[in-house]
Each structure stands twice: as structure tokens, then as C-alpha cells.
Structure 1
Amino acid sequence: MSRTSHALAALAALALTLTGCTSTADDKTLPADLPAAQTLLADGAKAMAEVKSAHFVIDVNGKISGLTLKRAEGDLTQAGSAQGTASIEQFGTAIEAQFVIVGTDLWLKAATGGFQKLPLAAAATVYDPSAILDPNRGVAKLLTSIKTATTKAKETVDGKETYKIQVEPDPVVLAALIPGVGAGVTGDIWLDATSKQLVKGVFTIPAKGSDPAGTVTVTFTKYNDPVTISAP
């Protein structure tokens, strides 16, 4: 496999990841009208475990060591299938690609040429895309591993009433979703006030070596909308 194809394979798998928390930490003093983070995150984990499909967008700002992904957008299912577009930065150049994942197969299509079929295992060391909506491994798992959490506010995000929760994710669990991250990551997540599904997550990645701090933003919409994903 060429270096570009290998990078794109890693990208397509990574593009399906992200985001994100039941909290084991107690809230600090809260305004009377804000629910405790522990309760919200427990409800969020339950809600995310029941999701069958979703539309996602991932945006990476800054240079994050070990993370070449710059942007990804697409649809995915609890069964692990996914399709969409993604962009990585390789040797200072942005590479755009379309991807389709069905079962253990990955198809990639760069700016020129048709789809190239690759084994999904080529990207397994970066991320297992079948995990994102898996109740035992994906977002629901992340939502049960937050080290500390505090409900900060009730805000409107993309027209939805949400609760904003400041979190410190477990670095081991988060590293499976954002390769290259270590300790010290902090973030905010927004859970739908009614459904408790994850609407948005913003994670700040600490500076590392010559790389300054960066952020990874993930948004989810169209929960449980009908999605048909098939091999190209």
C-alpha cells in the first residue's frame, strides 16, 4: 500500500471516531436549576447505547502530534458501517478522500481515480470504526469513564436546548478515539436536554513538544435517521 493510501486508510477509520462520559465525580456547587453532571452523563450513556445511526462532523484545529486528520463528515451505524468524506494533512498537503466502510472492508476514493478496496485492518491500529456507536466500546463507553465533571450551563446548540458539562476524560479511553492524545485533555460536552444524546463535544489537547495546544470538535445530528450504506 502506498504511503498516501495507508494514511487515508488511517484517516477514514479515525474519521469515524470521536467524541465525547457516566461520571464518578461529584459536582461542585450548582445553580438550583442545573442537574448534576453524574446524573446527566449516566442518562447520556444510556441514550447513546441505544443509537442506531447518526451523522457526524469532526473538525481539528491546530497541529496535534499523531493526528493527521483535519476534518471528516459522514454517516455511521451501530453495526460499524460508515460513509463520508475526510481530509488529512500529509507532508504539509491536504488530501481529500471519500470513504465507505462495510463490515471488514474499506473503500477509499481520492481526488482522482475510482474507489480502492482495502482491508479495514489496515487502519485498526489507529481506530476501530465499528466501535463508535457500539454500546460497549464507543461513545457510551466514553460517557462512563469521565474522571471529573461539572454541569456549567443550559445552552442552545444548533437549535437544541442542551446542558453544557465541563469534563476531564479518562486518557486511556479517549486515546482510543483520538490517537496521539495523552494526559491533561479537558473538554466540554453538550447533551440534549430532552433526549440526553450527545450534540457536541470540544476537547482541548495540551501542547506537546513543538506542537501548540489544539482542539478537536465533534458534532452529532440526525440520530436514528434511516441510513443505507453499501459497497461502492
Structure 2
Amino acid sequence: MKRWSRAAVVAVSAVAATALVLTGCSGSNKGAGGGSSSPANGDAASTVKQAADVMAKVTGMHVSLTVQGSVPNLAVTKLDGDVSNTPQTVATGTATLVVGKNPVDSKFVFVDGHLYSDVADPGKYADYGNGASIYDVSTLLDPNRGLAKLLSNLQNPKVVGSEQINGIPTTKISGTSSADDITTLAGARLSPKDAQNTPTTVWIASDGSYHLVKIEISPVQNGTVTMTMSDWGKQVTATKPA
């Protein structure tokens, strides 16, 4: 049998060790990333911009709104409904409002620019004009006033994680919003102190659709408005209540 020199043995061992290290690194990278980047490393500004572009084209959806704490001049504490804006804004659903000091459950219909609700007398609808005294649902899908505008104007966006919302994978992004955008969307008039740099967090679908799945804004200390969206593209029909 041919005897190997000590130098040859050392050389072969070094080559084998190097191969193992390289193989290990390759396997580790594949397992960790699978060829795609983590949401935490994504471009927050680009993601928000794409979400704003998509939101501006959404013609209908389901929305659930909840209010935690106390938000000035906002009567609604919970809303669950459907809204579409083609050919005109139409919405139907239920809402809980604070009347005096008591929560009151009601139904609402938005059609022909007017919000009708039975909050004052269950089963009997009254005309509340544009609905601003309750909640102006027409702002949501308005590209110039609603969710699309808020996304377009979101300041200092930063990816802070990822989360499943109702089975949809999302990228969670934090930022701040202006007083005008928050006042329009939340329907709350803010004091100059509260209006500065309103904390805003958005959850944007990471499945390639860039749908806005959830948004949380804190217009005042100890007051939070949360909206969760689904059924994008839904067409809603309604008739004026008798």
C-alpha cells in the first residue's frame, strides 16, 4: 500500500474541512431564507406606496371598526358593514354608538349621499345627512380623503414585523399621520396637542396583492381606532329606507 506523506494528509484534510464549511453555509442559507427575503428586511416605503396605489383602485370591501378608549367627537364605538363606491357610494351594516352615556346598537344604510340609521328608534330609520355625526363611511374608499390618501401620506414608515390577520399573511408597518388625514378618516376633531404626529400602524398583505388588511391609529392618548378590511372588490346594493 502506498504511504501518504504527512503534508498530503494535511492538505486533503484542509480541502475536506473547507468543503464541509461551504456545504453547511449553503444549507443554512437555504433553510433560513428559502430564496426570499424576510418581511423585516423589506422596503417599508415601497410597500406602503404599492398598498396606497392598490387601495385607490378598490371599489368595495367589508370593514370592521372598533374604538378602544375615548376619542373626542367620535360617537361610534363599533361598526361592521359593507361599502362600495361604484357607481356611487353605498353602504350597509350595524353600528354601536354612545347615546348619552349608554351604548346603543343600530343599523345603518348609506345611499344617495345620505346616512339613514335607526339609532334613535329601533326599526325606524332617520336621515342623518352625510353621516358625519355618526360616521362618514363615504370617506373610506375616496382616493382623495380616505384610506388610500392616509397610506400615501404615511410618514417615516418602518417594518416592525409580520402577522397573520384572518388567515392573511401581512407585513406590519408603523409610522405617523397628519392631523388632517386622521380627522377625515377617524371623524374626530383633534386639539393641536393631540394632532401632532399621530401614531399609525398598518398591516399590508404580503401575498402579492398589497391589500390593506388592518389599520390602527391613536389620535389621542388612551384612544385607538382600529379597522380591519376584507372582501376587496365587493359590490354593495342598498335602497333608501322607508
TM-score by length of 1: 0.76
SS of equivalent to 1:44: helix
Q: 2:203 aligns with which of 187, 190, 200?
A: 190
Q: Distance in 2 between matches of 1:195 and 1:224?
A: 12
Pairwise CA distance, 1:175: 0.9
Change (3 A) 1:154 1:231: same
Name the larger-Rg structure: 2
Q: Distance in 2 between matches of 1:116 and 1:164?
A: 39
The within-5 A match list for 1:6-21 is: none
Q: Which residue of 2 aligns with 1:170?
A: 178
Q: Which residue of 2 aligns with 1:52?
A: 59
Pairwise CA distance, 1:137: 2.3
Q: Distance in 2 between matches of 1:131 and 1:69?
A: 15
- Aligned identity (percent) is 27
For these two proteins, the number of residue pairs brought into alignment is 197
Pairwise CA distance, 1:32: 7.9
Q: Distance in 2 between matches of 1:229 and 1:36?
A: 40
2:143 maps to a residue whose letter is: P
Contact 1:127–1:177 (8 Å) recurs in 2:
no
Q: Which runs of 5+ in 1 are unaligned?
A: 1-29, 208-212
Q: Which runs of 5+ in 2 are unaligned?
A: 1-36
Alpha-carbon deviations, 1:84-138, whole Å to 9, x = none?
A: 11111122111221110111232212374433241524x3477643221122222
- What's the C-alpha RMSD, in Å, of the aligned pairs? 2.3
Change (3 A) 1:156 1:63: same
> Which structure has more helix as a fraction of its residues?
2
The within-5 A match list for 1:1-232 is: 34-78=41-85, 79-110=88-119, 112-118=121-127, 120-121=129-130, 123-124=131-132, 128-178=136-186, 179-181=188-190, 182-193=195-206, 194-207=208-221, 213-232=222-241
Pairwise CA distance, 1:68: 2.1
